[in-house]
């Protein structure tokens, strides 16, 4: 088997393991899931599992770090007020990332018992980075009062943003992910006009 075929096989195995794990999370708590459960659900050998992960928690960490890492990577492409002047490019990058394996992320974000903790981590990362980036940009926020108002507004919009995306992943909003992203971006831009038009 050539290197390319081995690489494709490894990607396929990891995907099967991760999907099996998320399916099991829909049925039971994480602490009750065993490697035996995963390999049986994925129809692979224990050796295949351990070729990729040392244990279940290493796999969970990889999944979380992958999503959070992508979010940080995309956030780093924008400076200062760019994110609130036009959040569409950032949100579109995240949408395209999720679309690469939409059913996996749908299960992870909506259906699993561990979903609330994971979503809270994502939300905290986005909030921290948005607030830090904008407050570092002195032209956007001038006074202490404006700073307080801005932080409240960021919390409000990020909370709404995550709520809308969760509803979409749950199938409760009928539009494409790209359409949702465009609409959310427009709403956020209008809500931050008092800061960006100075």
Could you report the per-residue pLDDT of 108-149, keeping only the tens digit for each?
887 666 667 788 888 998 888 888 877 766 555 567 787 788
| Per-residue pLDDT, 168 | 92
Average pLDDT over residues 159-185: 90
Could you report the per-residue pLDDT of 20-36, keeping only the tens digit for each?
998 888 888 888 899 99
Does the predicted TM-score (pTM) go above 0.85? no
| Per-residue pLDDT, 198 | 47
Long-range interactions of 16-22: CB distance < 8 A, separation 24+: 16/42, 16/43, 16/44, 17/42, 17/44, 17/48, 17/49, 17/52, 17/53, 17/59, 18/59, 18/63, 18/104, 19/104, 19/107, 21/56, 21/59, 21/60, 22/104, 22/107, 22/108, 22/111, 22/112
Q: What percent of the chain has pLDDT over 90?
A: 30
Class of domain 1-53: mainly alpha
| Per-residue pLDDT, 7 | 62
């Amino acid at each position: 088997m050539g290197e390319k075929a081995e690489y494709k096989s490894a990607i396929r195995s990891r995907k099967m393991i991760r999907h099996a794990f998320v399916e099991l999370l829909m049925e039971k708590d994480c602490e009750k899931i065993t490697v035996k459960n995963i390999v049986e659900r994925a129809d692979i050998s224990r050796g295949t599992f351990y070729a990729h992960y040392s244990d279940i928690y290493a796999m969970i960490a990889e999944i979380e770090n992958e999503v959070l890492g992508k979010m940080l990577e995309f956030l780093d492409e924008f400076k200062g007020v760019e994110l609130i002047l036009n959040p569409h490019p950032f949100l579109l990058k995240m949408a395209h990332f999720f679309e690469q394996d939409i059913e996996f992320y749908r299960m992870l974000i909506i259906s699993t018992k561990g979903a609330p903790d994971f979503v809270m981590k994502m939300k905290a990362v986005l909030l921290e980075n948005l607030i830090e980036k904008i407050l570092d940009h002195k032209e956007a926020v001038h006074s202490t009062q404006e700073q307080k108002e801005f932080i409240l507004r960021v919390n409000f919009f990020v909370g709404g943003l995550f709520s809308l995306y969760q509803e979409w992943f749950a199938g409760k909003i009928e539009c494409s992910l790209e359409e949702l992203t465009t609409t959310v971006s427009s709403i956020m831009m209008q809500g931050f006009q008092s800061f960006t038009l100075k």
